[in-house]
Amino acid sequence: MRIVILDGHTVNPGDLSWKPLEELADLEVYERTAEEDIIPRCKGAEMVLTNKVILDAQVLNMLPRLQYIGVLATGYNVVDLEVASRQNIVVTNIPAYSTESVAQMVFSHLLNIVNRTDHYAQENRRGRWCQSADFCYLDHNLFELNNKQMGIVGLGHTGMATARIAQGFGMNVLAYTSKDEEELPEGVHKVSLDDLFSSCDIVSLHCPLTESTRHMVDKRLLSTMKPTSILINTGRGPLVNDDDLADALNSGIIAAYGADVLTTEPAPVDNPLLKAKNCYLTPHIAWATREARQRLIDQCVRNVKAFIEGEPINQVNK
């Protein structure tokens, strides 16, 4: 059998090994694949692995030998599942491989905002500390996380991990979740979305992107937040309305926004959040720690092996 990896670079830029896959089948790895190269590269392959390359109906209809698609991510919207199922193509994903890494990024953003770590490091590179009249200098209000109230929207794997870390900082945790109150960890309390946004000092987004959650954080919801509040988004970019959020930041309706995701990625130059006041963006790298990427590859190998053995796991189009 033949396996084609269409966009292996982000998952493995060279610090990890594809050898376990090579031991299962003939393997071809492409760092990136342009749209016009998808069909020629996949032609004749029984198995295709993709991270962000889209396998839509037009592509799938041109690949009659294809039996298996392994999505190298948790989200699988890059594959037309209806067509894949109709053509008896098994589609799998990689669940929960980056939980701890993404939760860690939540607090990387949060600590940078509350302690202004990057600001002071950059100022010192320019020699400001060397010129200080005192042993320290302070030009931003810093504050402790202890006893602050953190709201978490969505209590899946990453939301739960974020709640656990928040409690470790001594924070009070509220959650907007479909889970029943009795299912929640000790010290985490269920509230409505409006109550969460209006009462919390920090809000962190971890819910899936659906039609009901797209642009959930809009002008109305932002207007209910405290002017000192911080919004963190390591979930999905379109959970927020970019224009409304940029306006809220620039007008001081909320204090800061830290995010690892945008509505469109890579970021278009005209996205208003790129230049919004107190907006801190990282380029969708929360998932990409070496440990998380190794877990992804390990699970990918297990998925492929299970398919070859006739007992697929992590199938998303049963």
Task: Kindly state the tokens that stand for 75.
Answer: 């989200």
3-state secondary structure of 167: helix
Q: Which residues are catalytic?
A: 236, 265, 284
Q: How far is CA 156 from the centre of its chain?
A: 13
pLDDT at res. 318: 82
pLDDT at res. 262: 98
Length of the chain equals 318
User: 256 pLDDT exceeds 90?
Assistant: yes
Q: Which residues 6+ apart lie within 8 Å of 296 measured at CB?
A: 11, 72, 73, 94, 97, 98
Q: Which residues 6+ apart lie within 8 Å of 25 measured at CB?
A: 1, 2, 3, 46, 47, 304, 308
Task: Kindly state the tokens that stand for 253.
Answer: 């309706």
Taking the CA atoms of residue 159, residue 164, residue 170 and residue 174 in that order, the dihedral angle to the nearest 10 degrees is 40
Does domain 99-281 fall under CATH 3.40.50.720? My reply is: yes
Mean pLDDT of 200-219: 96
Render pLDDT for 66-83 as a digit per residue (tens, 0 to 9). 999 999 999 999 999 999
User: 6 pLDDT exceeds 90?
Assistant: yes
Break the chain into its structural domains and give their ranges.
2-97+290-308, 99-281
- Residue 144 one-letter amino acid: E
Render pLDDT for 259-318 as a digit per residue (tens, 0 to 9). 999 999 999 999 999 999 999 999 999 999 999 999 999 999 999 999 999 999 999 998
CB 263 within 8 A of CB 274: no
Q: For the whole model, what pTM was predicted?
A: 0.94
CATH of region 2-97+290-308: 3.40.50.720
pLDDT cut 70: percent of the chain above it: 100
Mean pLDDT of 7-13: 97
Element (H, E) at 38: helix 38-42
Task: Kindly state the tokens that stand for 215.
Answer: 């642009």
With cut-offs at 50, 70 and 90, classify the pLDDT of residue 133: very high
Render pLDDT for 26-52 as a digit per residue (tens, 0 to 9). 999 999 999 999 999 999 999 999 999
Number of Cβ within 10 Å of residue 104's Cβ equals 17
Q: Decide: residue 164, CB within 10 A, 0-12 exposed, 13-18 middle, 19+ buried.
A: middle
How far does the chain reach from its first CA to its final CA, in angstroms? 22
Q: How far apart are CA 273 and CA 238, in angstroms?
A: 13
Render pLDDT for 145-170 as a digit per residue (tens, 0 to 9). 999 999 999 999 999 999 999 999 99
pLDDT at res. 247: 98
Query: 2-97+290-308 and 99-281 share one CATH topology?
Result: yes
Mean pLDDT value across the chain? 97
pLDDT at res. 122: 96
